[in-house]
Each structure stands twice: as structure tokens, then as C-alpha cells.
Structure 1
Amino acid sequence: MDNLEEKMEKLKKAGDIHVQVMKEAIKLVKPGAKLLDVAEYVERRIVELGGGVAFPCNISINEAAAHYSPCYKDEKVFSEGDVVKLDIGVHVDGYIADGAVTVDLSGSYGDLKRASEDALKSAINEIVPPMKVGEIGAIIQEVIESYGYRPISNLSGHVMEKYLLHSGVNIPNVRESSKEYIDVGDIVAIEPFATEGAGQVVDGSERYIFKFLRV
């Protein structure tokens, strides 16, 4: 078992790789570029820098809020006017860095992007563990609504453990009365989603992300 210092070193390395790859990937998201080319670059680059791919690179466009990953021979390309969500996961010996950015190719959704970014910053700044997850959701909701948008209530952040992206504790984007809480030492992915729509997502028809379990 890793001691605390080793754990922190591996988390920091995963985070450093994540930051570097994300910076490079953002520059590749432009009209005419293939989603698959960006995803393959991201995953290859993570490995080149000494990390592992924690989950397939997610590239979700416009009304697709999250969890689309281009498949083999996918011919989809970015277009002018697209709002792109780029979600990358890196691990080092199972310790995971999970983060996403919004790339606005239209130049028209700056406020929408800022709503999510400011909600994330506010949540990070105001977390004092132990803290109920519903209190974090309330912070996120308040910031997003202050911009005139709605938080997406059925997407959430999550607590991560070694080799486990979703440990079972979710971080909501709205006020909740849940008794679950985060504590000192937890590794947390906070994932605010702001929308002009109804504030809920529905499942799409394309499914290309799978998890294999040993039985």
C-alpha cells in the first residue's frame, strides 16, 4: 500500500500530465479537425508522458453534454459554431486526475462557459471537509443560476479512489438533502454543468464507452 507521500506524488504527476495534455488538445479543437484524431492524440500523449488513460477521451458537442467518445473510423469533425466539451482522465498507478474544459468555437457562449467555470471555482474555494455533498451542490446551483442558466441535475461529480473512477459518492450540481459527505483525504471531481435547457439530460443512442469487470 502506498504511503501518503507516495500517493500525493502520483496524484501530482497525474495532474501535471493532465494539464499538459489538455493544453495541447485544446489547440487541436478547430473547425474541420476530426474528433477521432483529437481523442487518439490525447490518449497517445498521456502514455508518452508516463501516465495511463483513466477513461476514453470524451468529446461532446453542443446538446451532447457529456460522455461521447469517438469510435473506430468515426468521421465526425468540428464545425464553426460548436460548443465542445473535452473531458480527459489520467492515472498514475491508479491515482486519477479527471478534468474537462469547454471550447467555444462560436465565440457566442462566453457567459455559459463562465457560469460553469465560476461554479467550479466557488465550490473549490468553499469546501471545508467534512462537508455534505448537498451543500456543494447548493454552491454550484447558486452560481449557475446567477448567470441566468440552469444546472444539470442528473449529471454529477464524484469521489475517486485508486483505480476506481466512481467510488459511489456523487457530488450533485443542485441542492440535495443527501446525508453523504466528503471528508479529509477524499479525491473529488467536481463537475458543474450549465445549460440554457431544462436542466436534465437524456441518454443518447450512441454508446461507445464500456467497463469490463472480472467475474
Structure 2
Amino acid sequence: MIITKTREEIELMRESALVVSRTLGMLASEIKPGVTTLYLDKLAEEYIREQGAVPGFLGLYDFPNTLCMSPNAQVVHGIPNATPLVEGDIISIDCGAIKNEYYGDHAYTFPVGEIDPDTAELLKVTKESLYAGISEFKVGNRVGDVGYAIQKYCEDHGYGVVRELVGHGLGKKMHEDPEMPNYGQRGRGKKFVEGMVVAIEPMINQGSKRIKQLRDGWTILTADNKPSAHFEHNVAIVDGKPELLSTFKYIYEALGIESTEEDQYRSKVYD
């Protein structure tokens, strides 16, 4: 069952999402060769709590950490460890937080130092596909419209679209209806209505769409060990149109990136 949110609830969810956005922005300045994902995880937990929130992933389904940290060929759900990042890595960071009883949950794939052009293109296209999907999240459209937009954009660039892992509704639970696949057919699936809030999150592989799982029961990797990228936003339908609750603004400020990609989907100006 889809649980729609009031305007007031959406604003509470925006606060939760911004806790995550600011946390990812803080981490952006810390990601460099020699840093461990376990160190970044500790920073994130402390920073989330300083914002009057609690980590959303820690203990969820018995996950042991605050962040899902997935380098290189890891798609999602990687467990932070003491292995240092090295020049040329990429690291997908998925972060969740609970504030006002609501979840925020989004992700960004960061380069570690200089990365090769093919991997940089994977990150670029995956992030662009996120906005292709968001543009279809509006009243009257359906789940398949978002999935189709993401799938077509990525497959037109020769990439594999993971099938087994999907986006989802978001609210007082981390995972609500509807599921939001990154593939699909136009005009198929549940219809979007005013007040829906979802996490849209393309998980895109440089090579095959196929995946495998490590024995730790969490970590998902590409079957061919080629790199994978993951970008995620929290989006509500307000006045029939997509409204971003999360932002990459703080990441871009930390990295010195100028971007207008969010402007058409965001009514609020963030400090």
C-alpha cells in the first residue's frame, strides 16, 4: 500500500533528507587515497548524531554500520573496513538517517583522486540517468515510466542495468511501496499520485547487468568485476511535479563543482 504524505510531512522528510545531504557533503572533503571506509563510517555516525538525528542503516535488518560503502566493482551494501582507499578507486556511499521519525536515504559515487576516463563516464551517465528518471516522477505517470527512462539512457551508453535491486517508497519506514526498478515499460506499474515520496536510485554497471553476493550476506558485486556506480535522491510529488528533498549541493561545494542540474526539481534554496 502506498502511503502518501501531507505537505507538513514532506517538509519533515526534507529535514531528514538534508541530514544525509550534509553528511555526504562532509564526507566529500575526507575521501582521499589512504583513508579507510571504517574511518569515514565513524565520522558519519558522529555527524548524523550531532544534527539531532540517528543513523538509519545502523542495525536495520542487522546491518552493522552507519554507511554502506561499496568501492569499484561493489554495487551496493558494502561493509566498511580497514582497507585504505587508493588513487583511481571509486566509492559509492549510501547513507540513511532518521529525524522527526522519518527516513532520509540517498547515495553518491565519489572518485578517489584521479580516475580513468571510462570510469568517469560511467559515473557521469549514471548520475544523468537519475535525473532522467526523476523527470518522469509526476502525477499520472507510472513506475514503468521512471524505470524505462533510466534503462534507456544507460543502455544507450552500453551499460548494464541491475535488475535485482530497486528504489523504493520512503517514509517512517526505510522501504515502503512502491518498488522503483531502474528498468521497465512505459505506462506500466503503479500510478503516481500527489504526496508520494520515493527514493530513486540507479545502480549501473560498466559491463554486464549480472551481480553476485559475497559470503558476508550483504555485499553485492558485479558478476564480471567491472565497476558499478550508484546515485540516489529522495523525491516527493508536490503540485503534480517532482520535488527534490535531498541535494548534492553540499558535495559540490566541498569538491568545487558548479552545477544547475537540480534547479528545475527544487523549490527551496538551501544554506
**Which whole-Å CA distance do the structure 1 matches of 2:157 and 2:210 have between them?**
18
The gaps in structure 2 that reach 5 residues or longer are 58-65, 220-271
Q: Which residue of 2 aligns with 1:190?
A: 200
Match of 2:109 in 1: 102
Match of 2:33 among 31, 34, 48: 31
Q: Is the aligned partner of 1:81 residue 2:88? A: yes
Structure 1: gaps of 5 or more residues: 210-215
Deviations 1:50-72 (A, max 9, x none): 122111311101111000122xx
Once the two structures are superposed, residues 12-71 of structure 1 have per-residue CA deviations (whole angstroms, 9 ceiling, x without a partner) of 21122222111111221211111111011111101101122111311101111000122x
Q: Which has the higher relative contact order, 1 or 2, with Cα contacts under 8 A spaced 6 or more apart? A: 2
1:84-108 alpha-carbon deviations (Å, 9 max, x no partner): 1011112212211111111122422
Letter in 1 for 2:138: V
Q: 1:141 to 1:68 in 2, by over 3 A?
A: same
Q: How many residue pairs end up in the alignment?
A: 203
Normalising by structure 2, what TM-score? 0.69
The whole-number CA distance in structure 2 between the counterparts of 1:166 and 1:112 is 27
Distance 1:12 1:58 in 2: 21
**CA deviation vs aligned residue, 1:132-190 (integer Å, no higher than 9, x gap):** 2122110001111232212112221111121x111242111112586334432121000
Which of residues 44, 55, 64 is equivalent to 1:53? Answer: 55
In the other structure, the counterpart of 2:77 is: 67
**Higher deviation after alignment, 173-182 or 27-36:** 173-182
Amino acid at match of 1:167: E
Distance 1:138 1:97 in 2: 25
Identity rate of aligned residues, in percent?
25
| Counterpart residue type for residue 118 of structure 1 | E
Tell me the equivalent position of 2:155.
145
Preserved CA contact (<8 Å) 1:89 1:99? yes
- Superposed displacement of residue 6, structure 1: 3.8
Matches within 5 A, 1:110-121: 110-121=120-131
Asked if the contact 2:13–2:171 (Cα under 8 Å) also holds between the matched residues in 1, the reply is: no
Which amino acid in 2 is paired with 1:84?
I
Per the normalisation by structure 1, the TM-score is 0.86
CA contact (8 A) 1:134 1:174 kept: yes
Report the Cα distance in structure 2 between the residues aligned to 1:78 and 1:145, rounded to whole angstroms.
29
